[in-house]
Amino acid sequence: MHRHHHHHHERHRTGHMAWLRAAVLGANDGIVSTASLLMGVAAADAGRHAVLLAGVAALVAGAMSMAAGEYVSVHSQADNEEAELAREREELATDTAAEHRELATIYVGRGLEPALARQVAEQLMAHDALDAHARDELGITEVLKARPLQAAGASAASFAGGAAVPLLIAAVAPPAAQLALVFAVSLACLALLGAAAARMGGAAPGKGALRIAFWGALAMAATTVAGKLFGIAP
């Protein structure tokens, strides 16, 4: 009993992992794109008002585009899952023997003896044929079932959360230090998020932090240079 419970917990962790990963990616995206834009505009010697306006626009547009993209991709995943399950239902109704063989073959591939594999397939299909095939043949589990609106909301919220960081710094920083502060604070947050994401995935936190900080710094430096160049034009 206890072991089963442990397994259940593990499976949930992968479900949550997907959400956490999406949230971290959204926040990273929010920080990098908004900080980059803010720095580009600030480097062009725009006033604080223009800088903040650009930042707010970046936050809203980015969150919307993240939500739209996520909604579409998760929706199509949900449609695919539905279509696969419908096809599976059809196959189960028309050719049960072949479906039994299919499952047994999958279990043999995972290392069960053929006789045992047949028995397992038999019992699982007697219990819930569609569920057995959804899990083992199609790889669809309840936890991973696509929920488009939730996914869209989560990525919009995490993007906005990330974007709010450089925006707030830009709002309160003294003009002379605005660029440097936005850069430093954004990089620090990126490094923290990178480390957290790596730890969640079981990788080395230092590596994760470095990788994301490097690309973030590159993005911010590129827009700052672009802003300076355009700011020079009369």
Of the given ranges (2-16, 80-94, 198-212), which has the lowest mean pLDDT?
A: 2-16
Q: What angle do CA 21, 22, 25 make, to 5 degrees?
A: 85
Does any domain span residue 96?
A: yes
Closest CA to 22 of 142, 158, 118: 158
Please give the residue range of the domain that contains residue 75: 19-232
Q: What local confidence, expressed as pLDDT, does residue 127 receive?
A: 64
Closest CA to 191 of 216, 154, 162, 160: 216
Query: How many CA within 13 A on the CB side of residue 57?
Result: 10
| pLDDT beyond 90 at 6 | no
Other beta carbons within 10 Å of 87 = 11
| pLDDT beyond 80 at 114 | no
Give the whole-angstrom CA distance, residue 69 versus residue 222.
25
The tens digit of pLDDT for each residue in 136-194 reads 666 655 545 567 788 888 889 999 999 999 999 999 988 888 889 999 999 999 999 88
Q: How many helices (H) and strands (E) does the chain have?
A: 7, 0
Does any domain span residue 4?
A: no
Domains of the chain: total: 1
The tens digit of pLDDT for each residue in 11-60 reads 455 556 667 777 888 899 999 999 999 998 888 888 888 989 999 999 99
The tens digit of pLDDT for each residue in 52-106 reads 999 999 999 999 999 898 888 887 877 777 777 777 676 665 656 666 667 677 7
pTM of the predicted model, to two decimals? 0.67
Q: What local confidence, expressed as pLDDT, does residue 205 receive?
A: 78
Q: What local confidence, expressed as pLDDT, does residue 195 receive?
A: 87
Q: What local confidence, expressed as pLDDT, does residue 154 receive?
A: 86
Other beta carbons within 10 Å of 172 = 8
Does any domain span residue 76?
A: yes
Give the whole-angstrom CA distance, residue 199 versus residue 189.
15
Give the whole-angstrom CA distance, residue 188 versus residue 118.
55
> Between helices 96-109 and 114-136, what is the axis angle to 10°?
100
Give the whole-angstrom CA distance, residue 98 versus residue 96.
6
Does any domain span residue 1?
A: no
Does any domain span residue 113?
A: yes
Query: Using 50, 70 and 90 to split pLDDT, how confident is the model at 197?
Result: confident
Give the whole-angstrom CA distance, residue 118 versus residue 116.
5
Does any domain span residue 46?
A: yes
Average pLDDT over residues 125-134: 62
